[in-house]
Structure 1
């Protein structure tokens, strides 16, 4: 190390120790009371998990997304801090001789000092949550700052350890924001929700409920028992393996005042088609694996769906069609089905952003040549959404509304190692929307011709016919569906 570099390092180290000693030796009853409590609350990220839990139970989609983003970012930053950074730099902890006994944390750390794991987790959570909820940025940053100060005041870290932790955690959060951009602010002028009052049904009279008892490893049967207990006058039709689901739905809808359905998104799709044809409202009792439609429409969880029927609160939402066959959430062709399967396999372990990157890298190469409204492109992945999904990019997760009258089209070319690297670089730098390999547009109607030959279609997670032409359209506000009044 050159002499001038060594002098700079020594000066920084001297300043670090001086600031630590100055804070540690400050005679302050307030510091003695507040700092240990704050640092103990942040042990194992309990403080941040508590805030995430409050956001998660708020019933606000954006708050729940912020909570998930914050928790996932803590997990990644903690892994990097403890398994890489601390093992690379073996800096010892500060001496506790000058720290008052009353100010010390009840749990003395035994790991190395650089960087501060508490600071990294605090910065990761605060930065991640602020991406989704900017209004919380200042109070959360102030709280994170106090946690950082507490780590120095209680003798756990030097100031530079805390600064390094803040930098690491915030960097991880911002990279996550590039991989999966935060949802765009709601466009208030596009929201035309006009809640409907269809009349109270405290016992469920007039509801014909079609249930798949085997859905989601038997969850359908559990849902049925709860619905029958709280809505005793509901007529129940249980699906059997040999039944034609669409025929059962049509027959049930023909005699129902309200068509109810308990099953996965594929079963709900069949029920929606029958409800529209019979001009009756739909009541969705979530009993599938993912329940995307129920979540987006405001009928999740089961208690919320039951309450909606009892109170008679409903809304009108869009129905999308691919070649005149309905889909409520998404449709796809080509490798997108494989992409979703791979992403969902790993997202529980590493989070959706990293799982989406991994899926894009390992998905089987299926290059398609498609023409969309007279523009020809070569792509591997094609996604269609009923309504505009958030966030932008190639990890769409939810809809702010379900009555905008638009189809959301996203196409991506990740062919070959070079293409994969370019897409990965675009994801990491937040430039995917500007990359020529990515295409995104919204329209009420689309014509997609597959010039490379017929492909298999998937609607709401279920495989359908093989075709080389896709006509996609939206029937705006065609479906009346019960939803909890808190959704309004």
Structure 2
């Protein structure tokens, strides 16, 4: 066995040397300067971060691809540069083997094995291809050129590049354990239902939030151009949004036959609560930063709902409510939470632009759990201590600590998750399980799906957060799922295979 391993090693060394000699013998060309520049551009992942920035400009698969690519590099770089290079030292090729025109002005001095450039290139490209195969195929030649540039400039052996690419590919594929790849499809909803058919928006009351989104663009003009007969209102400062819409409806001279909203999830949640209560169909125009609800019901922009509004096509979508100490129902379209979960989401969204989604989520989780105080609660009559509690409108996926998508909005269920605080070393055990992708085996993490939930806080009143907005404080929270409570405009069933 040892002899076979020695022979294989000798064969790899000979092949490495032959490849370097062959590369060194190539005639002078414009590729020499281009490959040197490309190799330098990829230092510290700068090239890939720039590509990620370009991909992130557009919402959808390319933005998710950029985020996964950055996360893959974040896992690959320390693995290769801080671990493997120290454990597996190897001399780099002698500078004299390459013509002077090929050599880098500041050649690296760390271990040659494996190639960090090749590892990052492979990690980023593989991760991007997992979310968007076409984009992955488009940048694959660039990644291959970066990997070869390390041999062409004489700073790596061929086997360094192959090993680095293998490590990067493996780490990118491993991200699926924490962050499953989901098809770019909307959630399942109730079958098509009839709704008011409105010509050019006549009878449509649309709330436009000019402060939504990250680009600073007011969507009012777009709404007016598509629905010139719609009545457009903006949020009034200092006035509750739901109360404002109720008043706008009652004061309207013409009959309001449907509602519309152009804004983020907070604005959508307010309009959805009014639409559900008054049994009016709702046209959702994603104009916020995240637009989780619009994405999940299959709406990417105003043109996706224009035909549906004209023809009167809608689908039934489940909503959820929470009653706080017997107060009127508070509707929510995405999530509600008690404890430290709202802080964790806020920190994750604040940091994910710098570090990527999953590293930001992990750091935010550790920070919130470190600072949190456990809540003594009764959950459906059973006493518990919890660090945080999450309730989703519909089952979210993945089943870990940072759910992002919903495959269904038609089963009348709540997604209930909480972290127990009544187990020894619960926070440490929870974080370890989350980082290992093994929460489904952890006793500290509980996930259930049921149509209703009652949570009683045994201590000082606490505030609830719904759809990113902090709500009232209370001690008794009664959650419930409501089947097909909202009729949302969307293209006819079967068109574009949305359901």
TM value normalised by structure 1? 0.78
Q: Mark the runs of 5 or more structure 1 residues left unpaired by the alignment.
A: none
Residue in 2 that maps onto 1:361: 366
- The structure 1 residue matched to 2:405, chosen from 367, 382, 398, is 398
Measured in 2, the distance between the counterparts of 1:435 and 1:303 equals: 45
Conservation of the 8 A alpha-carbon contact between 1:109 and 1:156 = no
Conservation of the 8 A alpha-carbon contact between 1:317 and 1:478 = yes
Helix, strand or coil at the partner of 1:399: coil
Once the two structures are superposed, the pairs formed by residues 267-286 of structure 1 within 5 Å of their partners are 267-286=267-286
1:338-366, Cα deviation, whole Å (9 max, x unpaired): 22222222222112212222122221222
- The structure 1 residue matched to 2:466, chosen from 439, 453, 459, is 459
Residue in 1 that maps onto 2:345: 340
Of 106-115 and 116-125, more deviation after overlay is shown by 106-115
Residue in 2 that maps onto 1:110: 107
Of 168-177 and 276-285, more deviation after overlay is shown by 168-177
Measured in 2, the distance between the counterparts of 1:130 and 1:214 equals: 34
Helix, strand or coil at the partner of 2:201: coil
Of 291-300 and 323-332, more deviation after overlay is shown by 291-300
Measured in 1, the distance between the counterparts of 2:455 and 2:284 equals: 31
- The structure 1 residue matched to 2:17, chosen from 14, 21, 46, is 21
Structure 1 residues 79 and 193: alpha-carbon distance in aligned structure 2, compared to 1, 3 A threshold: farther
Helix, strand or coil at the partner of 2:286: coil
Residue in 1 that maps onto 2:265: 265
After superposition, the CA RMSD in angstroms is: 4.8
Q: CA deviation at 1:195?
A: 4.7
- The structure 2 residue matched to 1:250, chosen from 246, 252, 255, is 246
Once the two structures are superposed, the pairs formed by residues 40-439 of structure 1 within 5 Å of their partners are 44=42, 59=60, 65-78=64-77, 93-95=92-94, 110-112=107-109, 113-125=112-124, 128=127, 152=151, 155-166=154-165, 168-170=167-169, 172-173=171-172, 176-178=175-177, 180-182=178-180, 191=188, 194-195=191-192, 201=198, 203-215=200-212, 219=216, 222-253=218-249, 255-301=255-301, 304=304, 309=309, 314-323=314-323, 324-363=329-368, 364-413=371-420, 418-439=425-446
Conservation of the 8 A alpha-carbon contact between 1:259 and 1:280 = yes
Residue in 1 that maps onto 2:487: 480
Q: CA deviation at 1:425?
A: 1.7
Conservation of the 8 A alpha-carbon contact between 2:283 and 2:489 = yes
How many residue pairs end up in the alignment?
476
Helix, strand or coil at the partner of 1:203: helix
Q: CA deviation at 1:397?
A: 1.4
Q: CA deviation at 1:20?
A: 1.6
1:371-400, Cα deviation, whole Å (9 max, x unpaired): 333443321011111011111111111222
Structure 1 residues 458 and 58: alpha-carbon distance in aligned structure 2, compared to 1, 3 A threshold: closer
TM value normalised by structure 2? 0.76
Conservation of the 8 A alpha-carbon contact between 1:52 and 1:71 = no
